[in-house]
């Protein structure tokens, strides 16, 4: 294996470690909440803004599609999604840091909620943002990772490529042009030299 391949593999290993760390953080926080609070308990952290509210969600992120009958469908979709993300991560260049950050966070978030679905059939949520009678759906660390990962991927797909195309030259074209110029010059010199000889 070449040194470049080893360096690329080492670079991607860092993102797998990030995935494992975020997934572990998600499971640790869920464990703390589930063992120290009763289902339905709520602790105000910032009054009228942020609270820890222990809920269990049978649906997908942020409480959507919360029908328990879809448990194994969500498990199957999550497994496929994780595999797709990991394959995409392995095929992504180590130089594309933004996309690798996106994929690592997506993998961590999907795996975090997948573990809950397989283990208890529901996802543990506890972060609650609210103001008076208005509240955002309860979420967790895994949901946060998925949201940030999706946002980074949107930036990579719709913003980053345009700036890169505008500032970076295409190496294949530049090298091709550099290779053609000496050949053209040599052909021109061969054509001119007989003419000079005839003129003399």
Quickly list H helices, the chain: 3-36, 71-91, 97-120, 141-158, 160-167, 171-199
Nearest-5° Cα angle at 68, 67 to 71: 110
Q: Which position among 26, 41, 44, 125 bears the catalytic label?
A: 125
Residues contacting 159, CB < 8 A, separation 6+: none
Determine contact, residues 57/133, Cβ cutoff 8 Å. Answer: no
Q: Which position among 26, 133, 143, 178 bears the catalytic label?
A: 143
pTM: 0.73
Q: Tell me the two tokens of residue 89.
A: 């991560």
Q: 173-186 pLDDT, tens per residue?
A: 444 445 544 444 44
Determine contact, residues 85/107, Cβ cutoff 8 Å. Answer: yes
pLDDT band at 112 (very low <50, low <70, confident <90, very high): very high
pLDDT, the chain, mean: 81
Indicate if 41 belongs to the active site.
no
């Amino acid at each position: 294996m070449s040194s470049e391949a080893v360096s690329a593999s080492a670079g991607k290993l860092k993102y797998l470690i990030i995935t494992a760390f975020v997934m572990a953080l998600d499971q640790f926080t869920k464990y703390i909440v589930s063992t120290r609070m009763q289902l339905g308990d709520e602790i105000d952290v910032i009054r009228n803004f942020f609270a820890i509210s222990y809920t269990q969600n049978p649906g997908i992120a942020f409480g959507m599609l919360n029908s328990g009958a879809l448990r194994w469908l969500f498990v199957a979709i999550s497994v496929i999604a994780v595999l797709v993300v990991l394959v995409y991560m392995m095929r992504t260049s180590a130089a594309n840091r933004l996309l690798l950050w996106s994929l690592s966070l997506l993998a961590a978030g999907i795996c975090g909620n997948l573990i809950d679905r397989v283990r208890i059939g529901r996802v543990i949520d506890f972060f609650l943002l609210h103001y008076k009678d208005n509240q955002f759906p309860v979420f967790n660390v895994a949901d946060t990772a998925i949201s940030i990962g999706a946002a980074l991927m949107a930036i990579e797909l719709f913003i980053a490529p345009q700036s890169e195309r505008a500032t970076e030259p295409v190496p294949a074209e530049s090298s091709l042009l550099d290779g053609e110029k000496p050949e053209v010059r040599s052909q021109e010199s061969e054509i001119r030299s007989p003419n000079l000889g005839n003129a003399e």
